[in-house]
Amino acid sequence: MDENKETNNQELTGYTVAEGHKSGYVTMVGRPNVGKSTLLNAFMQQKIAIVTPRPQTTRVRQLGIITTPTYQIVFMDTPGMMKPRHKLDEFMVETAVETLDDADVILWLVDSSSKPGPGDKAIAKQLAPFAAGNHVILCMNKADLLKAEDVLPRSEAYRALLPDAKWILFSATKDAGRDELLGMIVESLKEGPRFYPDDQVTDIYMRDITSELIREQVMLQLREEIPYSIAVQVDEYSERPDETVYIHATIYVERDNHKGILIGAKGAQLRKIGAAARKEIEELAEAKVFLELQVKVEPKWRQDARALKRLGYSHE
């Protein structure tokens, strides 16, 4: 690389980049179940965040890092913003809000297949100061579900909530407008260094990804209230000399009857969850995985500050 084309950021980051290189943090916010994690995975072209049809799937901030010769984008996937019902919800909302001040670009995702609701209006008020600085892109997702006659009135309704924001109507799942959105993000970034190595795609350790993949399977396979009241803690994650991985994890529930449903008759439901989670983990770990699961009851853990901290849901 020509020394005259290097920036002066090498001491700070440990990397040198060509002149004109862009970088920045891009946070993704919105109500639950509007497609933030789906969009992140689509941009990354691999699974970084768990995705289910249920709202409130994402509980913590997750990074997805895209690096090209000319830019590095650090996406921050966040929990859905909603009215908190308990301490876990409070943690999730705080997690999303805290990313706003750190972001160079804010993607406000909305579900364009539905009319704007009170939650959208509340988020718009929070984002108004950032939109005035040209930092917000209104991302009207699920355009593939819109009827032709609804496109104009629906897009105008959302744009009216945040008139200063850039906007795009697109579909995260159908690849309609997704490349255009990525182009808008890159255009909005300023020149800067690389914050992460070229080959790093997230800041999440395999231990943490494992707990999320197990929780994802609980959410996908159970149709009761249980998925919202479970937490997963990986007690052991060991890479063995024979290149296999041993994992022991505990699934916490709030009620005894939830434990019974989760385990199922003669352990059948728990084995089904474990088999599906193991397959996902093996794809990421690129190794044979031995996964052991157990279920414990921890009453009202979502309201218990100490339990939340132990399970990783705390800003302290």
243-283 pLDDT, tens digit per residue, is 999 999 999 999 999 999 999 999 999 999 999 999 999 99
Say how many CA atoms lie within 13 Å of 156 toward its Cβ.
5
Per-residue pLDDT reduced to its tens digit, 55-90: 778 889 999 999 999 999 999 999 999 988 899 999
9 has pLDDT over 80: no
Check if the beta carbon of residue 82 is closer than 8 Å to that of residue 32.
Answer: yes
Q: Calculate the average pLDDT of the chain.
A: 90
- Write down the domain spans for the chain: 3-191, 206-310
pTM above 0.95, yes or no: no
Q: Return the CATH superfamily for domain 3-191.
A: P-loop containing nucleotide triphosphate hydrolases (3.40.50.300)
pLDDT category at 289 given cuts 50, 70, 90 is very high
Q: Do domains 3-191 and 206-310 have the same CATH topology?
A: no
Give Cβ neighbours of residue 294 (< 8 Å, ≥ 6 apart).
248, 249, 250, 251
Q: The dihedral of CA 113, 117, 121, 123: what is its sign?
A: negative
159 has pLDDT over 80: yes
Q: Give pLDDT, residue 151.
A: 94
- Average pLDDT in the 201-205 region? 87
- Average pLDDT in the 171-181 region? 92
- Average pLDDT in the 128-143 region? 92
Q: Give pLDDT, residue 251.
A: 97
Q: Which CATH number fits domain 206-310: 3.90.1150.150, 3.40.50.1970, 3.30.300.20, 3.40.50.12160?
A: 3.30.300.20
Q: Give pLDDT, residue 22.
A: 96
Per-residue pLDDT reduced to its tens digit, 11-50: 444 456 678 999 999 999 999 999 999 999 999 998 888 8
Hunting for tokens 């901290």 — which residue is that?
309
CA–CA separation, 79 and 28 (whole Å): 9
Give Cβ neighbours of residue 176 (< 8 Å, ≥ 6 apart).
143, 144, 170
pLDDT category at 226 given cuts 50, 70, 90 is confident
